[in-house]
Structure 1
């Protein structure tokens, strides 16, 4: 799961509620020393319409607060076009709820993002409206940053005392509705499939048991189905060779087909291109049990489930359709279930939606302070544990100056379970084959080797005992230690247990499975 951040709406309500302007009686002479709203007010030739919007919504004072903001602000020309398209002559003719949401959607109220902090894909912090913006850099370098695939940043890194402002040449369209809400008349069969299989409820939800989940849907349009002679759920069942009409059964081929189009995390188009180079691929787990989708670059073109024999794959025709609970990408093919070839698997040991749901901060970049979340033994179902008195397991998100910041997604599991204590979890699906298995961990400099762990996969010990202390006597660093070789006869998830060999604590990052031959 790529950087799922749980920021409850109540927190934004408090941050963005009515408040007095701390700078109301202060006269500024140097625009470089002004807070964001006052800075924009002083540069009315560029920002006057946005400033009017801030005052109309009562958020001018809020944007002046001594906090950290990233403001994506449309210039006056962009605002004129926006108002003209809506048939309005003034921002004060906008509905108040619409106007307030517009400001919130353009503002990240937790961090100042300069270009050096820009992510490759989705911003890890949500906007003040609780939504997530995506970023793409196209040909043209710093002049070709696009937000949500719709608005180019025309001027970068404009600094105020409490914010970074990025000037937009068009207004962003605020996200409204869930994934299901955003499937229009071009996706009637996809909607019917979601309804008949029970996935509609999942993709219509924003919170489940108090946890905010986000998903990716690869949506097949009606015309793509029609090209295959499919115009109903029943005809898809015939196409797939399914005779059971209980489409809610997870083993049903129609149910599995739909689940194969849903990922249990929100992947922007840039996220999908991350960690692959030209003519290489990666596999991503989908919601249908024991299924993977291949993401591959071929001659700099992105494909899903690319077939090397036919030289064909599935293309994304519309990307980054952001929704309240995830993102939609439109595909140009049926995208039937296939089993891709084995590739290198990097399994982040913190990569569980359930863990994300209990952490205020999770898999974030460029944090100035370390965040930790001590976990009770019975709080999460994704981990099973056994440890002695005083044992501990904690989620650790590193700050940008820590050695552990180099960990996958900048986080680790801190474990101190006592000798013979253990923690057990389930891996993502791994394609059948033989692999070299390695552990990425923080190595504490020490003269002796300590922090010992045995790794048990599906009940069998693998390789040698790993030590996480003492690989170097002088330098503490993130390192990769080979465990041994493992062979899987089935393409399924696997049970992995780490058993402690001493009383030392360790920071474990991820397991790597590299195909052999």
Structure 2
């Protein structure tokens, strides 16, 4: 039997279903109207609803922009309703749209239009990825009032009707006209009495001028937008700088603050980065590049706090400074302004050895199973890695991921595979099984810019893969290291026979051929009892391998990504990754050495 359905009922069901999905996804967000229309363009929709949009239609007509918004294309328009336009006119002491020039109104329209379709599902807590036709970003967020949440644009206008789809785009109705920023970064800083000390530093170093360009005349297009994170006068005074003279006396060593070698110039440059980075952009990236060549600001989110340069370097915690959210995300005509709660500057460092136990993943260290004897943790859970410091080939990591494993053998027992700190991460790379990854990456601790020999420390597996090691692959700083790492090799591949394994004289030959011991052979003491000699007992000394992948030239002091790309592997051979050593090229490459219980042995 055929059933005749009323098209209005079908339309109602479709809209109702979409509305329900939207409400679920919004999670208690205000129930905004999700509409469809048969109009072929934006202007047609506005003209059909004069009771709400007659004034904005007048703005389109007088500005000469009605034509292109009636044409084919893909646009998103944030459309003020009549009440919003009337309030805006009143704030300008105007009573009608025609009291404003066509050029003024054209800028108004351009600031409300994006050259792409952007539904609310793509909104984030921060700037939209598409820039307006006016040339400034719009900032989106959510505001709460009377238990109801609503989208807010530029902290100025609430969306009252969203995702109205027309033939050439999307309309979001807003309750206020959006006002673009007219002040530059330099002017915004100078006119705020919180920043008098930093303002003077900007002027004396020459950065005031570079932060004061309007976009239409900016000479360096790479600095069309910039981000400044600065200290208030009170923060600088708390750090001992009561005025600009005190700051200059402390930092300006050459007497010429405009010199790029002067510490005051570098201090200011260190507070500026290219691009418009709002707080969500800051926390989504581990670091911000600054205008000081090869110097970055590290960033992290701890709870609700955004911290700058809060680092652990060679086991030492270096407290950072907090971003003052109250005085941040200030949009200007050429960028965005943030404030820090404390004084910060470049941290002078020299290259030093970094001996990275890759089991030291922050997320793992929070778990009870971390370094607990005999424990294992699957790092790929529900299709997602639980550790931010590891990445896998996204196309081939569907089912089988890395495993964190801790040895169950107690200190003092005979165990030829006693990893440093007794933990290891096992990877299953392959070139033939689509359930496994072709490559995997590990993020390093902080590395100071300089040249390092890179040692991959692992435990032998007879079916282990052959891999190529690269650093920062896919970036402008990509480096592929020359020596392949074969996880099926033991230390005997260095040319040292088993009979000579324990002799100190073997170290030189191993090193010459790109191998080294990284585990200690000295007996440990545990509770007053001699412990095991982990790689010399039972002729198993050779299974714990340090292999030289090559020399890397680290250009920027930061955390970096080390990639292992599988060149040979059938999926049955496991990479038992223990440590990665980054040792300055002129430093001792053989020491320190490590023990299962965490003891570190320096050269005797």
TM interval, shorter chain, is 0.5 to 0.7
Aligned to 2:339: 330
Aligned to 1:468: none
**1: CA distance, partners of 2:58 / 2:293:** 52
Residue number among 189, 197, 220 corresponding to 1:189 in the alignment: 197
**2: CA distance, partners of 1:437 / 1:320:** 43
Quick check: which has more Rg, 1 or 2? 2
Secondary structure of 1:173's match?
coil
Cα offsets for 1:183-230 (capped at 9, x unmatched): 342233323222221223432344435656321111333444445453
Residue number among 219, 226, 230 corresponding to 1:215 in the alignment: 226
**1: CA distance, partners of 2:320 / 2:298:** 14
**2: CA distance, partners of 1:132 / 1:89:** 29
Secondary structure of 1:144's match?
strand
Q: Is the 8 A contact 2:236 2:343 kept in 1?
A: yes
Q: Is the 8 A contact 1:303 1:315 kept in 2?
A: no
Q: Is the 8 A contact 1:69 1:162 kept in 2?
A: yes
Q: Is the 8 A contact 2:288 2:299 kept in 1?
A: yes
Cα offsets for 1:36-84 (capped at 9, x unmatched): 1121121122222211211221212221111111001122222222222
More deviation, 191-200/222-231 = 222-231
**Shift in Å at residue 258 of structure 1?**
0.5
Secondary structure of 1:180's match?
helix
* Corresponding position: 1:126 with 2:126: no
Aligned to 2:58: 52
Change (3 A) 1:39 1:86: same
Secondary structure of 1:183's match?
helix
* Corresponding position: 1:200 with 2:227: no
Cα offsets for 1:247-274 (capped at 9, x unmatched): 1222322112111111122211221232
Cα offsets for 1:311-345 (capped at 9, x unmatched): 9634233232223432212333333334899999x
Change (3 A) 1:271 1:164: same
Q: Is the 8 A contact 2:321 2:342 kept in 1?
A: no
Matches within 5 A, 1:420-439: 431-432=447-448
State the aligned residue count: 364
Change (3 A) 1:490 1:56: closer
Change (3 A) 1:300 1:82: same
**Shift in Å at residue 137 of structure 1?**
3.9
Secondary structure of 2:245's match?
helix
Aligned to 1:461: 482
Q: Is the 8 A contact 1:315 1:333 kept in 2?
A: no
Secondary structure of 1:272's match?
helix
**1: CA distance, partners of 2:120 / 2:298:** 30
Change (3 A) 1:162 1:198: same
CA RMSD, aligned part only? 4.8
Aligned to 1:10: none
Which consecutive residues of structure 2, in runs of 5 or more, have no partner in the other structure? 1-35, 312-316, 362-393, 397-443, 457-464, 472-477, 487-547, 568-578, 582-597, 599-604
**1: CA distance, partners of 2:150 / 2:454:** 41
Matches within 5 A, 1:115-514: 115-119=120-124, 121-137=126-142, 143-186=149-192, 187-205=195-213, 206=215, 207-208=218-219, 213-228=224-239, 230=241, 232-240=243-251, 242-274=252-284, 282-306=286-310, 313-338=322-347, 431-432=447-448, 455=470, 461=482, 463-464=484-485, 492=557
Which consecutive residues of structure 1, in runs of 5 or more, have no partner in the other structure? 1-29, 276-281, 345-401, 405-427, 439-448, 466-482, 503-513
Cα offsets for 1:79-119 (capped at 9, x unmatched): 222222222212222343322211101111x2111123335
Q: TM-score, normalised by structure 1?
A: 0.58
Change (3 A) 1:163 1:294: same
**Shift in Å at residue 296 of structure 1?**
2.2
Q: Is the 8 A contact 1:429 1:491 kept in 2?
A: no
Q: Is the 8 A contact 2:42 2:168 kept in 1?
A: yes
Aligned to 2:413: none
Q: Is the 8 A contact 1:290 1:493 kept in 2?
A: no
Secondary structure of 1:113's match?
coil
Change (3 A) 1:167 1:143: farther
Secondary structure of 1:270's match?
helix
Change (3 A) 1:488 1:58: closer
**1: CA distance, partners of 2:59 / 2:332:** 24
**Shift in Å at residue 139 of structure 1?**
5.9
**1: CA distance, partners of 2:61 / 2:445:** 52
Aligned to 1:361: none
Q: Is the 8 A contact 1:72 1:106 kept in 2?
A: yes
**2: CA distance, partners of 1:179 / 1:311:** 25
**1: CA distance, partners of 2:182 / 2:445:** 33
**1: CA distance, partners of 2:137 / 2:445:** 28
**1: CA distance, partners of 2:341 / 2:258:** 26
**2: CA distance, partners of 1:53 / 1:436:** 63
Change (3 A) 1:55 1:459: closer
**2: CA distance, partners of 1:143 / 1:107:** 24
**2: CA distance, partners of 1:82 / 1:215:** 29
**2: CA distance, partners of 1:515 / 1:38:** 63
